[in-house]
Structure 1
Amino acid sequence: MSLSNQTLTNVTANLQYLGVLEIVLFFTLSTMSCCIFLFINGIMLFTLRSKILFCETSRYILLYNLLFADTVQMALSQLLYIIATSRITLTYPVCGFLTMLANLTTVVSPLTLVVMSLERYVAVCYPLRHTTIITITNTGVAIIAIWAIGSLNILTRVLLLLEFPFEALDSLQMKDFCSDIAMFVGSMSDDYDKAFTCVLFISASVAITCSYIGVIVAARSASTDKASAHKACNTLLLHLVQLGLYLSSTIHYPLFTALARVLKRIVFVRIQVVFYVCIFLLPRCLSSLIYGIRDQSIRPVLMQHLCCRLR
């Protein structure tokens, strides 16, 4: 998960290669995009708490959990971006708190996608048992388990940080911009991060892919609702796309390293800024766009709230 915030440090560290006008333009692009996405997510979160139907349906409860994690992640990422752009250095405890919280929400998002995919699989393949398997209680337990896994990951990271001799430092003030990479104070932290990221995304990919295959097989059965199965297939495909975007924003650093060798410096920095908006910010607003447009129950309520806010 460490590489997900490395884009922020790379972009801000290389702004010196751009002119003042381009710096203002790129900063405005990223900040305005983030504000728009945060506004959409905020309205979507409010919409999901505006009706009893949304509060008592497992699918919408899971969607709320996903949107909440994505919104927090987006806000924290933009905060770190603004801090780095302003050339502000933080202390190790403050930076550690911000990056650990960002890592927590980064873990929650793919795990929530897995549970949402399994819920769609049960709805299509076991429609008669759906109400007994996917209950509010079971959904709550699943959400607690998701946050527990993310918290356990953070606890492990903190324990690895304790091995670093901070007392040997002259000051707890950081000399570099705050990022996950700056908080890697030992090789074990880096190795653990890579191993955890691989296990997380491989497991999530297998779970969502298996759910998709199961729904396709069930769709061929005569007893299955074809329309429901087709819609579930499309939803699972979108979940796979989301997971791929989450993964690309997490492990993009090797790609950037290769691009830096073949591109001019100024071109490379421009690509970094566009990448930050399209691959890092946009996926965390994708759930609101997907469900806000496709879901027949959410769409009219969401449009009503959006129109009221715009007025």
Structure 2
Amino acid sequence: MAEITKVGVVGCGLMGSGIADVCARAGLDVLVGEVSAEAAAAGKARVIASLDRHLRSGRLSERDWEAALSRLVFTSDLGDFADRHLVLEAVAERREVKSATITALDKVLDLPEAIIASNTSSIPIMELAALTDRPDRVIGMHFFNPVPVQQLVEVIPTQLTRDDVVERATGFVTARLGKDAIQARDRSGFVVNALLVPYLISAVRMLESGFACAEDIDTGMALGCAHPMGPLRLLDLIGLDTVQSVAESMYEEFKEPLYAPPPLLRRMVAAGTLGRKTGRGFYAYGE
């Protein structure tokens, strides 16, 4: 079985740019795809900004910065992914977008052993795998934000994923990227979000009810439970739209009322106040 050296990343937003960063610094040949030349240029700027942060902090030398950048190629043509050993989709957390991306990738990948991996936070992997002619080579690889900093990746096989695909994906995460992998069952939310999202939603409901203000909720959990940050600040970091999508997916699968996005969260998403990425969420953020 060929070693995974040619990696594709489809989608170069917050998550995709982080995945591209860690793959390039790991010495891999990385092809990054976006929907248009303009989006690809914006994605490239995002990755360069991430590499620049490593350079300024001393975690990356100028020589390694140049080497990482040389391994990155950006495209708006999915056909360019034909020779990839592994393609990670990191497009928007919406079923229709991820479904269309997975279906298109299945048609263009040439190598019979090529793996398609989804970075979805919540959509059942089998639902995506069923759209392909290679369901035994589709797997979930869920990275966490910010990808260059967060150490964990959830590896999610389906009932049909081959054992060797699980081994290759897990080995890629641990041996090549130097991250830690846990295996999750293919159920909406997987391990981390199944525990995290109800907690975050509870914090929104507490604020919505007037039980406590945002600052006190966050201070209480940060100082009282030794969390790195409170739930509302964490929501702003993740993105309110992403959390709403995960909550909707979990509610659809389990019909558990605690998973349903509360009205305040829905109104904030509708207003475009999505957290740090828009400059305003439960808190306001400067440049």
TM-score strictly above 0.5:
no
TM-score, with structure 1 as normaliser: 0.30
Higher relative contact order (CA 8 A, sep 6+): 1
Q: Could you tell me the TM-score, scaled by structure 2's length?
A: 0.32
**Larger strand proportion of the pair:** 2
